Structures are given as C-alpha cells and as structure tokens.
C-alpha cells in the first residue's frame, strides 16, 4: 500500500491548517506537514515529497475574493532561489498522480488558478469564480450535502449524504456563462450539492443553500476526479461531538466529514 504524505499549505491569513492536518492524520494519512507558502516559494520544502495536497480555509488575505486572486498570482509568479517556478512544482505534483483538496478559501484558490472545473481538461484556465452570498452576510451554520454518484471525484466515493459546517461570506459559484454551467452538469463535475435535509434534493432555498449557488452546487471536481474544491468544511467535523445534535444521536445518521478526507487517503493507498 502506498504511503500517504499530506501537505497542508498555510500563511497569509489561513487559520484552518491545524484542524486540517489533524483531520488528515485521523483519516489515515501517515504524515500531514503544515508548510508556509513562503517556505515552498523559497525552496525550503518541495512538493515532490507529497501525494496529498490540502489548501485549507481561514481568512486568506483578509477573506476577500481579491485575496484568492492574490494567492493565485503568488502561485503563478513565485520562483524558488534556483529559479524554478512554484507552479511547475504544482503541475508536477498533479501529473505524478497527486490529489488536491481545497476547502473554503482553498476552493476559491483552485478556481482562481483554473484547476477547477477544468472543463475539457483545460487546466490553469479560469472558468468559474465565486461571489458574495445571496444573503449578503457571513453564514456560519450546518448544511446537508449530497454527493453526485456519477461524478469521477475520488473524495466522494462511498458517500451519499453528509452534514458539515459552513463559514463563509463569499461562496456562490459563478460560471463564466450558461454554457460553462451546462458543461459542468453534462460532465458530472458538480461533485456535491446543498440539499433539503428532509427530501435530500438539491435546493436553492435558504438557509439549506446558504449562498445561492446555482443547482445547489457546493463543490466541484475536475475531469480526473483527483481535485475537489468545496465551500463547506469537512475537516471541521472530525469527531461526533462536533455535531450540534450529537447528544440526541441524530449525528449517527450520516458519516463524519472526515469521510471525504479518508476517501482521498483510501484512493492513494489503493494505487
């Protein structure tokens, strides 16, 4: 079985790195190193040591959509001391079979970099963005997600519905145009959707859909299925006592959010 070595990127305001690393270890990763992007850019750490990349959430550059843009530009233009572009490391990591999970700000970053949804396998070409919640405010609540069984996503295998917390002010997915949205649907790149907790059907109804994303899309994958980005925080539901209803036993109806991170670990170990 392959050894799972995870890399958790932090810095510039990110603040979910510790619980992300904890969740990765709890999900079965042999290692989960927290690394500042500046150390990656300086060449102190290289991505070829790892096969699982997690871009966590927090308040990246002040939790602003322009911040995801700034972070994407750092990835695009930073070079190590020997002149190697950091982006080349990322490309090499993915081409070598690595998997990538972006959560909240990390999802925004993957979209700004053009790694999601990569329609037509056009990686590093921006096709979607994210904008302010329809509610016009920061949303901090639990939501119910349903996975798309036709999606190629390796992080959702074996999962039907799952409850996880969200905490964001800018999580509404904005496709470049209607054609882009149709391509996402036709290719089953909408990996997870916000659903009504009773009917388990995708919804635009607030607060079940906390931001107004079309078709209730909460997360996207790429054609390979090895990249997943989502606004909710599966890493924050890593123990049953995290759930607000754990004392009433209602949390036992669905798996922990940890199941998504574990699915990625299982994929790598089965290779």
Peptide bond into 117 cis (omega under 30): yes
Active site residue 233: yes
- Looking at residue 114, what DSSP letter applies? T
Task: Give me the catalytic one of 104, 139, 168, 190.
Answer: 104
- The active-site residue, picked from 168, 190, 233, 243, is 233
CA gyration radius for the chain?
17
> Structure tokens of 45?
């750490």
Note whether 128 and 116 are within 8 A (CB). Answer: yes
Q: What is the dihedral of CA 166, 52, 260, 238, to 10 degrees?
A: -70
Q: Residue 225 and residue 152: Cα distance in Å, rounded? A: 5
Q: How far apart (Å, rounded) are the C-alpha atoms in residues 176 and 161? A: 28
Q: Does the annotation count 104 as an active-site position?
A: yes
Counting DSSP H helices and E strands in the chain, the numbers are: 7, 11
DSSP structural state of residue 226: -
Of 17, 139, 235, 262, catalytic: 235
Q: State yes or no: is 44 an active-site residue.
A: no
58 contacts 8 by C-beta, under 8 angstroms: no
Residues with a catalytic annotation lie at: 104, 233, 235
């Amino acid at each position: 079985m392959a050894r799972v070595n995870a890399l958790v990127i932090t810095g510039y305001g990110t603040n979910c790195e510790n619980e992300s690393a904890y969740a990765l270890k709890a999900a079965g990763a042999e290692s989960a190193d927290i690394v500042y992007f500046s150390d990656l850019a300086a060449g102190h750490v290289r991505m070829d040591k790892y096969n699982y990349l997690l871009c966590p959430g927090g308040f990246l550059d002040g939790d602003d959509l322009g911040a995801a843009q700034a972070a994407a530009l750092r990835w695009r233009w930073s070079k190590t001391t020997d002149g190697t572009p950091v982006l080349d490391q990322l490309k090499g990591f993915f081409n070598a079979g690595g998997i990538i999970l972006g959560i909240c700000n990390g999802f925004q970053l993957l979209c700004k970099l053009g790694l999601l949804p990569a329609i037509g396998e056009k990686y590093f070409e921006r096709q979607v963005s994210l904008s302010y919640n329809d509610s016009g405010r920061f949303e901090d609540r639990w939501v119910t997600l349903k996975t798309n069984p036709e999606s190629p996503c390796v992080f959702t295998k074996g999962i039907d519905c799952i409850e996880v917390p969200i905490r964001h002010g800018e999580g509404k997915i904005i496709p470049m145009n209607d054609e882009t949205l149709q391509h996402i649907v036709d290719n089953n790149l909408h990996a997870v959707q916000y659903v009504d907790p009773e009917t388990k059907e995708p919804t635009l109804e607030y607060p079940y859909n906390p931001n107004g994303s079309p078709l209730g899309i909460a997360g996207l994958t790429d054609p390979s299925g090895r990249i997943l980005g989502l606004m909710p925080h599966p890493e924050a539901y890593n123990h049953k006592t995290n759930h607000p209803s754990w004392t009433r036993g209602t949390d036992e109806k669905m798996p922990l959010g940890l199941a998504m991170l574990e699915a990625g670990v299982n994929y790598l170990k089965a290779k």
